[in-house]
């Protein structure tokens, strides 16, 4: 099969996935800060007693018009952890064409084990941090009136346009990578684990896009962590699968012939 593979398409597929990961990891660098006007939504303002509304508006005006310099949420970075495992699988196939299948077989186990452990630790840490952040934001939003005001002051300026730009570019790169993989060899479609990982990545991207675009802007800072939690759980599952198969590969490599 290796001899029949169209090598340029396989290499291009690996490069495109690498670019997708870099786009998702480097979101804070790629997105320029944009001035954001802070406003209290009408439905929230109506819940504040009339005598307290001037004070609430004054607090919002003190933070109004500032620039949002934070990365666009947690979900895009969580998505990158899934794509790192996708990059590992495609990258190892491309590597076998460079250094040979025999040597790659010896290195595959240890490389997969290291990457799997790193992704697992990263996703596990991020999962709990995101859960805590989500609880804080929901608690603030529901603690009317001044908790809600604090939430709006800190979290209502989510950079939805910047996140959409990054997600759109990530979508394009991963779909192009999938097309290049099929063009490299149609038998890759029968590698169900690889195809399932591609589907997981695309479903994770769709989930983030949906939860960023569906709610009003001031609620995206809550739906974004929800998407991040789902993607981190998916990354944990794939990391565990990667670690299990890596351990099996290492044991086989250490067995005397």
| CA angle centred on 157, ends 155 and 162, rounded to 5° | 120
What is the rounded average pLDDT of the residues 43-55? 55
125: tokens are 């840490």
pLDDT at residue 95 above 90? no
Placement of tokens 């479903």 in the chain: 203
18-27, 101-110, 200-209: which is most confident: 200-209
Model confidence band, residue 225 (pLDDT cutoffs 50, 70, 90): very high
Q: Give CA separation, 80 vs 62, 140, 242, in Å.
A: 35, 29, 16
Q: What is the per-residue pLDDT for 27?
A: 47
Q: Tell whether 191 is covered by a domain.
A: yes
Instruction: Give alpha helix (H) positions in the chain.
Output: 7-25, 27-30, 42-45, 53-63, 75-99, 101-142, 146-155, 160-184, 192-213, 220-254
Model confidence band, residue 70 (pLDDT cutoffs 50, 70, 90): very low
Name the average pLDDT for the chain: 81
Q: CB within 8 A of 157, min separation 6: which ones?
A: 36, 38, 66, 68
Q: Domain range holding 249? A: 2-27+68-254
Q: Tell whether 51 is covered by a domain.
A: no
Q: Tell whether 21 is covered by a domain.
A: yes
List pLDDT tens digits, range 142-163: 887 778 888 887 887 788 888 8
pLDDT at residue 179 above 80? yes
Q: What is the per-residue pLDDT for 153?
A: 79
pLDDT at residue 34 above 80? no
Higher pLDDT, 132 or 40: 132
Q: Tell whether 63 is covered by a domain.
A: no
Number of domains in the chain: 1
Q: Among residues 151, 111, 134, 146, which one has the least CA distance to residue 226?
A: 134
pLDDT at residue 192 above 80? yes
Q: Tell whether 49 is covered by a domain.
A: no
What is the rounded average pLDDT of the residues 9-25? 91
Q: Tell whether 165 is covered by a domain.
A: yes
List pLDDT tens digits, range 106-140: 788 889 999 999 999 999 999 999 999 999 999 98
Higher pLDDT, 80 or 33: 80
CA 84 to CA 170: how far, in whole Å? Answer: 13
pLDDT at residue 57 above 80? no
pLDDT at residue 172 above 60? yes
What is the rounded average pLDDT of the residues 31-35? 48
Q: Tell whether 39 is covered by a domain.
A: no
Q: What is the dihedral of CA 15, 21, 25, 29, to 10 degrees?
A: 40
239 touches 120 (CB < 8 A): yes
Q: Tell whether 212 is covered by a domain.
A: yes
């Amino acid at each position: 099969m290796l001899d029949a593979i169209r090598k340029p398409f396989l290499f291009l597929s690996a490069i495109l996935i690498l670019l997708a990961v870099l786009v998702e990891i480097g979101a804070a660098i790629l997105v320029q800060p944009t001035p954001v006007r802070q406003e209290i939504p009408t439905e929230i303002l109506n819940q504040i007693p009339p005598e307290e509304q001037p004070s609430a508006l004054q607090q919002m005006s003190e933070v109004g018009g500032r620039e949002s310099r934070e990365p666009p949420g947690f979900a895009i970075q969580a998505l990158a952890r899934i794509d790192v495992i996708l990059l590992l699988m495609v990258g190892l196939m491309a590597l076998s064409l460079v250094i040979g299948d025999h040597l790659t077989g010896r290195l595959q186990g240890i490389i997969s084990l290291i990457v799997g452990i790193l992704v697992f630790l990263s996703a596990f840490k991020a999962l709990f941090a995101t859960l805590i952040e989500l609880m804080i934001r929901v608690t603030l939003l529901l603690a009317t009136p001044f908790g809600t005001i604090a939430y709006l002051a800190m979290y209502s300026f989510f950079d939805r346009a910047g996140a959409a730009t990054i997600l759109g570019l990530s979508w394009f790169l991963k779909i192009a990578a999938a097309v290049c993989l099929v063009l490299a060899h149609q038998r890759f479609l029968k590698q169900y684990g690889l195809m399932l990982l591609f589907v997981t990545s695309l479903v994770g991207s769709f989930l983030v896009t949906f939860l960023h675009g569906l709610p009003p802007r001031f609620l995206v800072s809550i739906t974004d962590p929800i998407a991040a939690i789902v993607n981190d759980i998916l990354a944990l599952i794939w990391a565990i699968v990667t670690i299990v198969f890596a351990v099996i590969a290492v044991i086989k490599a250490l067995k005397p012939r």
